[in-house]
Amino acid sequence: MVEKVGRYEILEELGQGGFAVVHRGRDTILDRPVALKELKPVLLGDAEWVQRFHREAKTIARLDHPRIVPIYDIYELEQRLFIVMRLVEGSSLEELIASKKQLAWSEAFEIFSGIADGLAYAHAQNILHRDLKPANILIDAKQGAMLSDFGLAKLTSESSMSLSASGTIVGTPHYIAPEIWEGKKNTVQSDIYALGCILYEALTGEKIFKGDTPPAVMMAHFTPLSLPQTWPDNVPSGITEVLAQALARNPDDRYRSATEFAAALAVLPVDHAATGHLLVATPTAIEAPPEPITTGAPTESIELEPHPSPSATAPTASVSTDEAQSPASSDPTPSPLQEIAAPESPPDTAVPSRQATIEPSGELTPAVRRPRVGRRSCLWLGLGLGLVMFLGIVFLGNFCSLLNRLDAINNPTAALIALQTESINVPLPTDDSDPAEIEINFGAGELNIAPGADGALVSGTATYNVAQLKPSVSNDNGQVVIEPEFEVDLSALPDGDTQNHWDLTLGSFPMELNVTTGAVKSQLELGGLLLKEVRLVTGAADYKAAFSEPNRTPMQSLRFTGGGSQTQLIGLANAYTEDIIFKGGAGDYTLDFSGQLREDLDVEIDAGLGQVTLRVPETTRAAVSVSNLLANVEPTGAWQQSPEDDGQYVVTGDAYQEYEIKITVRIGAGNLKLETM
């Protein structure tokens, strides 16, 4: 039955995701098919979701390009909110890969060059996509590959931080660049990394970074890149080097633009075994974007929405979102691969194509002819150019030499050395009126922290075999920073068995503790200390922090931020604090509230896509409020759901228990498990 909302008819549902339902529709005034992306009714009362929905519409409306699915309207009527878009008749790249397993090089290159064209245009408009994946690439029967779903896009004049305000990483794990997992900024190079992942998947039928859970996928991005020894037929062998650059760990080592990436693919020679002709890939003319885009301090962010698999029921159409996809079209656009033996006319584009034609004489002649220049003009022009080139080479040589020297000073090349072990000892402050401030920064390897320093603020050992990871200790009468001697990007670590292991113990002195770690294994035992405040920040990590014994002084607050880790926080009742703030990304988190509760405890949890498990003793009074009804909540044990079904869960606990735990959970499409012990 046709449903009518104002000027639009809703014909059928094409699919749905975490926050929107997508319908096939018709504009009755203009008599044309449309895709109607409708915000779910349960979210209409949430100002943040409504603002995000409007934001997506405004972002797409800025983009006018044949390779980007256009928006027609934003329509609000009868307490319903829609984004009205072009209905793409075709399939998504995700469905195309699923049906064909592996795409032929010509087809993959055709799709990729079109998407690179659209992405370069978006970047030139200072817009980053931030959620590139096969499901967001639609194959239109007439227009070819089109880029869709800018729901997570950011204007680079605004915040493009990878973490939302709640600590949530945005994007889809298989395509998120390593720097994003580490909480750094999104840039053009982050989108290019995702393009490299997509191209690999199109050519092989497999994701390059695999894992059964988001944390496992995240860890895969930090393993050494492994590309195939052999590729499917007709895939040029040079693809290995091109993909290696696109997927470089360090963003600075990747291509500067989508245009440059596509151009590197276009010049790869393909030996067509069936015809014996040499195929030369001719990329679509793309306007070169400006310098690589980076962003400043964050002003706002968007939570990561769930991105389910496309609806299996979508019959014949794809829409401009990953909310719904459909079967492949049988009418692809012409291939950009042109056989030299039978050249076609140059495409009608704003920028001349660099195709070549073969004249009857057999000479290779550029398709774009240039006016003749007289011999004398050529002579003076040649001398002038030669002088300019000579001076340029001299200047460039000196300039590059200076840059290399500065780079060698500021970013030394990491080098393996013989295994070193040295002691770390920080004496107690002479002024005991204020708590000590201890900051520990650890980027690579394994970190262990425990109580037990005798007569010292911090003591321990560091074992390492990379010269630049030598520990450095600064101490200004109790203001202590312990970190590697040089800041080394993880991608700069040399090949081989690198080792970096710190074993530190903390003394019995009032202290504020800040521990920041990267993609490392960390084990922190913080019980029995005099901790006044604790801040823990970790990237992609296997992380455990425990309070096996009660903290010996009231703590102002305990704050944890995880960028996508497997984390256990144990004995939180022993922290002796009234305030715990937890922010996590796409990780697997366990918060255990065992221990001695000595005051009421308020806990705020922002978890995004995280898998969160909360464990509370059966004898403890506890209440959990889940503010996002899209989360999957699994209460077990003594947990009871509120009769009003309003996202409230309680453990009644022991009637004689004086204190209680109140937990507020904000979670996207993740899973929340409530357990008792």
> Poorest-confidence range of 254-268, 434-448, 483-497, 519-533?
483-497
> Per-residue pLDDT for 438 more than 70?
yes
Q: Confidence band (pLDDT; 50, 70, 90) for 395?
A: very low
> Per-residue pLDDT for 409 more than 60?
no
Query: How large is the average pLDDT for residues 554-562?
Result: 90
CB atoms closer than 10 angstroms to residue 578: 17
> Per-residue pLDDT for 478 more than 70?
yes
Q: Confidence band (pLDDT; 50, 70, 90) for 614?
A: very high
pLDDT for the residue numbered 425: 94
Q: Confidence band (pLDDT; 50, 70, 90) for 112?
A: very high
pLDDT for the residue numbered 72: 87
Q: Single out the residue of 116, 109, 110, 123 nearest to residue 67, CA to CA.
A: 116
Query: How large is the average pLDDT for residues 119-135?
Result: 88
H or E segment at 178? helix 178-181
Return the residue matching tokens 């040649």: 382
pLDDT for the residue numbered 384: 55
Nearest-angstrom CA–CA distance, 57 and 82 = 9
Query: How large is the average pLDDT for residues 597-620?
Result: 88
Residue 26 in contact with residue 8, Cβ under 8 Å? yes
Please give the structure tokens belonging to residue 493.
């670590």
> Poorest-confidence range of 13-22, 403-412, 444-453?
403-412
DSSP secondary structure letters along 394-411: HHHHHHHHHHHHHHHHHS
> Per-residue pLDDT for 537 more than 80?
yes
Q: Confidence band (pLDDT; 50, 70, 90) for 529?
A: very high
Q: What is the CA radius of gyration of the chain?
A: 29
pLDDT for the residue numbered 539: 73
**To the nearest whole number, what is the mean pLDDT of the chain?**
75
Q: Is 653 left (phi over 0), alpha (psi -120 to 50) or beta?
A: left
- Could you tell me the CA-to-CA distances from 558 to 164, 366, 461, 574 in Å, in that order? 20, 68, 26, 11
Chain centre to alpha carbon of residue 659: 40
Per-residue pLDDT tens over the stretch 506-528: 999 999 999 988 767 899 999 99
Per-residue pLDDT tens over the stretch 47-98: 777 877 787 777 777 788 889 988 888 888 878 888 898 998 888 999 999 9
> Per-residue pLDDT for 137 more than 60?
yes
H or E segment at 118? helix 105-124
* Amino acid letter, 328: A
Query: How large is the average pLDDT for residues 289-303?
Result: 38
- The widest CA-to-CA distance across the chain, in whole angstroms, is 103
Nearest-angstrom CA–CA distance, 497 and 608 = 35
pLDDT for the residue numbered 554: 94
What are the E-state strand segments in 89-175?
90-92, 127-128, 137-140, 144-147, 154-155
Q: Confidence band (pLDDT; 50, 70, 90) for 45?
A: confident
* Amino acid letter, 578: E
Query: How large is the average pLDDT for residues 122-151?
Result: 86
Pairing of strands 337-339, 278-281: antiparallel
> Per-residue pLDDT for 307 more than 50?
no
- Could you tell me the CA-to-CA distances from 413 to 312, 405, 465, 495 in Å, in that order? 51, 12, 14, 12
H or E segment at 592? strand 588-592
Per-residue pLDDT tens over the stretch 148-164: 877 555 544 343 333 33
Return the residue matching tokens 């003591």: 459
Q: Confidence band (pLDDT; 50, 70, 90) for 253?
A: very high
How much of the chain, in percent, has pLDDT values that exceed 70? 71
Per-residue pLDDT tens over the stretch 222-252: 888 889 888 988 899 899 999 999 999 999 9
Catalytic residues: 131
pLDDT for the residue numbered 241: 94
Q: Confidence band (pLDDT; 50, 70, 90) for 494?
A: low
Nearest-angstrom CA–CA distance, 671 and 677 = 19
Per-residue pLDDT tens over the stretch 205-226: 999 998 877 777 888 888 888 8
